[in-house]
Structures are given as C-alpha cells and as structure tokens.
Amino acid sequence: MKIVVAMDSFKGSLTARLACEAVKKGLLSVLPAAEIIIRPMADGGEGTAKALISAKDGRWVEKNVTGPLPNMTVKAGYAWFANYRSALVEMASASGLPLLTESQRNPLETTTYGTGELIKAAAQKNPEKIFLAVGGSATVDGGVGAAMALGWRFLDKKGDAIALGGGNLSRIQKILPPPELGLPVVEVLCDVQNPLCGPQGAARVYGPQKGATPQMVGHLEKGLDHLCTLVGSSLGKDIDIPGAGAAGGLAAGAVAFMNAKLVSGIDTIIECTDLAQQIATSQWVITGEGRFDSQSLHGKVVKGVTKIAGQAGVPVGVLAGSVNLSSEEYQSLGIVDAISAKKDEISLEYAIAHGDELLIEAAAEFARENLITPRKDN
C-alpha cells in the first residue's frame, strides 16, 4: 500500500516535516510494509521556505536585516534554489509577528523594510524568479517599507522622506521610483482574497491581530486608501484588487513597486513538490494541520491536497491537533475520516509540548480504523 503524507505545520509545536515524520512513524507501527511518501506542505506563509527547501534541494541563506520595528535587527534569510535559478523570501522571517513581544505590536510603527532587504539580497544572485511568501506579518504598511529598501522614495509635502511604519502612509505626497529596480519576475504566494481597503481590507481585518486599536485601524485604513489613490494617479496601477490586502498590504506593494503578480500559494507548493504525481499512484492520502475547522474548508493546505486527491480518485484522511468539524462537514469535501491528536482530557499546553507523540498515536489510530479494517461507510 502506498500512502502519501502531506502535512502542514502545527504552529508552536511541529514543523511540516516533523509532522510528516510523526505520521509516517505512526502508520508504519501498524502497517510496517506500507510505502510512505512524505511531502511537507505550506500555504505560502510561514513554513513555506522549509517545505520547498526539503522538496527542491534548496539551501537557506542567512542575512541580518531590519526587523519589524525600524530599530530592530534580526537574523533572517531566504531560500535559494540553484538548480532552478530561483529564490523564495518568507517575509515572516524578517517582518513577522512572532518576532515581537505583545507590548511591541503596533502596526503604526512596524515595517516591511527588512523584507525588502531580503528581496534585494536574493536579487543579487541573479535569479530568474523570486517567490514572496507573505503569511504571518506584523505590518500594515502597504509594502512601502519593502519598496524603500529597494530604492523607492516616498516624500511628504516638504519633500522629505517619510519615516517607516504604517502610520505614515497618509503623509506621502510623491512617489519616486529607483533609477533601476533590478528585480526578476516576482510572484506573491497568496491564498486570501482580501482587498487592500474597505471592510474586508488589510487594516480592518488584520490590523487588530497585529496590535491595532480601533483608533489605529481607522488611521491605517485612511493611509492605505491614500496610498491606493496615489499609486493609481502616479503609477497608473490599481492595487485594490483581490488578495492585495495580504500581509498588511505587502501584496499590494509588491504589485505596485515590484511589478509582481499574485499567485496561489498552495497551488505553487503542490506543483513544486510533485504532489499530484505521487498521489496519482497512491492508495491513500493523509493531510492535516494544527486546527481543522471551518477555515480549512476555504483555505489552504487541507483543501488543496484534498482537491488533488479527489481529482485522482484517492481517499483522504485528516490528522489534526484538534478537529472542530462534524463528519458531515468534512465528508462533503471527500474526506473519509478526521482524527484529533489532542483528546479532551489533554491540556492544550501538554498537546503542544508533546505534539510528536500524540500525532504518532493519532496516525496509528487512523491506520487501525481505516486501513486494516475499512470503515463500513467507506
């Protein structure tokens, strides 16, 4: 029996690769003769670089850059794939929310400047393409910080450069491009549909998650709207498009200042990891993430993997930290069974600390219930 294991990371507990390895171990404890193919997954956000490095023989290139706050320096990096002449910049490594304490989280001040420094460093290797993974950001600066690092100038009414941070967008009166941008094709890995502005935009939907008070949200919204108007009049580009609100508007900034296009993160990962080819010759697919809930039905890894399996007619099982969907809900997607690694009597803290062993047990349970004696409703 060939089983493809394509897991997302369990945030705070397991990377995607460790999750895959744990599931493999659990399956083999019940089915020692099974052929288990692992494909660590990601959705274009945090963990994307690690997933692709393991799949495409890449390497991590470290670089000290500006952190989410202008006065911070962080050790970040990008993934380099020499065989494919391409790079992947994961913005969370430079401008991510986990790099800040609760008290430091203030999107009026946070910046994507460090992400721009990573893009600039990656471009110096002369790649044919740079992928930009935009999940987990601490910022709502419309990508202006990243653009500054690439040589763009944003001037106020006095002709002075504005300071970094999302709180200064409303002060921009003039946008000046660099003499030469020096970038290859840039693709933003993005699976959300949020526009830059409005009720579903970057400030109102994501601002509060990044420390914004209601007053800050209003200020940020005004700034993003101003930026959108100015980019339209100065550069002739419409950046209030579906997906542009990702990462506090970094996606919009990439379109405006890097000539980037927005592409599906999960579809790109699936293509780069030859997942469809592996699934086509398998008998089962196991996927999962930390929390399997209603968001999973619209989102990223689980839905993407299940779609590919459905096209190949291969049954799917889900292993998650917690399962918050009824069997009717997940079976409507073509998922046969979903098992929670965290049982009711286990605390969340224990589950996070012991994610590896709990996932091994859940995989063994899945194998016993579905792969040795098939379920009656299969």
- The reported pLDDT for the residue numbered 296 is 75
Together in a domain, 232 and 127: yes
| pLDDT tens-digit map of 232-253 | 999 999 999 999 999 999 999 9
Residues 229 and 280 in one domain: no
Work out the average pLDDT over 174-189. 96
CATH number, residue 230:
3.90.1510.10
- Based on the fold, state whether residues 53 and 20 are members of the same structural domain: no
The predicted pLDDT at position 292 comes to: 87
Mean pLDDT of 45-73: 90
In the block, residue with structure tokens 């290797």? 125
Q: Is residue 214 part of a domain?
A: yes
The mean predicted confidence, pLDDT, of the chain is 93
Compare 193 and 227 and report the one with higher pLDDT.
227
Quote the CA–CA distance of 153 and 150 in Å, as a whole number. 9
| Average pLDDT value for residue range 109-114 | 98
For residue 334, give the nearest of 279, 373, 291, 372 by alpha carbon: 279
Considering the domain architecture, whether residues 122 and 203 belong to the same structural domain is answered as yes
Asked if residue 377 is part of any domain, the answer here is no
Total of domains in the chain: 2
Q: How far apart are CA 369 and CA 348, in angstroms?
A: 25
**C-alpha span between 56 and 153 (Å, rounded):** 36
Question: Do residues 323 and 354 touch, judged by C-beta distance below 8 A?
Answer: no
User: In percent, how much of the chain has pLDDT > 70?
Assistant: 98
Among candidate residues 246, 265, 284, the one where a domain is terminated: 265
For every residue of 179-238, DSSP letters joined together read S-----EEEEE------SSSTTSIIIIITGGGT--HHHHHHHHHHHHHHHHHHHHHH---
pLDDT number for residue 373: 66
Residue 342 predicted with pLDDT over 60: yes
Residues 20 and 4: their CA atoms lie apart, in Å, by 10
Q: Is 230 exposed, middle or buried (0-12, 13-18, 19+ CB in 10 A)?
A: middle
Characterize the bridge pairing of strands 86-90 and 73-81.
Answer: antiparallel
Judged against a pLDDT cut of 60, whether residue 377 lies above it is answered with no
Give the model's pLDDT for residue 378. 47
What does 133-168 look like in DSSP terms, one character per residue? E--SB---STTHHHHHHTT-EEE-TTSPBPPSSGGG
**200 in a domain, yes or no?**
yes
Does residue 68 lie in a domain region?
Answer: yes
| Higher pLDDT among residues 9 and 119, named by residue | 119
Instruction: Give the domain-ending residue among 220, 249, 265.
Output: 265
Model confidence at 300: pLDDT above 80:
no
Q: Which band of pLDDT confidence, cut at 50, 70 and 90, is reported for residue 295?
A: confident
Q: Which domain holds residue 147?
A: 48-265
- 378 within a domain of the structure (yes/no): no
Instruction: Looking at the structure, tell me whether residues 64 and 161 fall in a common domain.
Output: yes
For residue 29, the domain's CATH number is 3.40.50.10350
Burial of 41 (0-12, 13-18, 19+ CB in 10 A): buried
Same domain? For 106 and 219 the reply is: yes
Residue 284 CA: distances (Å) to CA of 273, 346, 350: 17, 29, 30
Q: Are residues 279 and 246 in the same domain?
A: no
Q: Are residues 146 and 199 located together in one domain of the fold?
A: yes
Do the beta carbons of residue 297 and residue 329 sit within 8 Å? yes
Pair (6, 142) in one structural domain = no
Of 217, 235, 265, at which residue does a domain stop?
Answer: 265
Residue 374 has pLDDT above 80, yes or no: no
Band of pLDDT at residue 227, cut at 50, 70 and 90: very high
The tokens of 193 are what? Answer: 């549909």
* pLDDT class of 299 with cuts at 50, 70, 90: low
In this structure, the answer to whether residues 202 and 291 fall within a common structural domain is no
Taking only the tens place, the pLDDT of each residue in 131-152 is 999 988 999 999 999 999 999 9
Query: In terms of C-beta density within 10 A (0-12 exposed, 13-18 middle, 19 or more buried), how is residue 236 classed?
Result: exposed
- Is pLDDT at 375 greater than 60 in this prediction? no
Does one domain contain both 229 and 163? yes
Instruction: Give pTM, 2 decimals.
Output: 0.87
Indicate the pLDDT class of residue 361, thresholds 50, 70 and 90.
very high
What confidence category does residue 11 fall into, taking pLDDT thresholds of 50, 70 and 90?
confident
**302 and 368 share one domain:** yes
Q: What is the pLDDT of residues 306-322, one digit of tens each?
A: 999 999 999 999 999 99
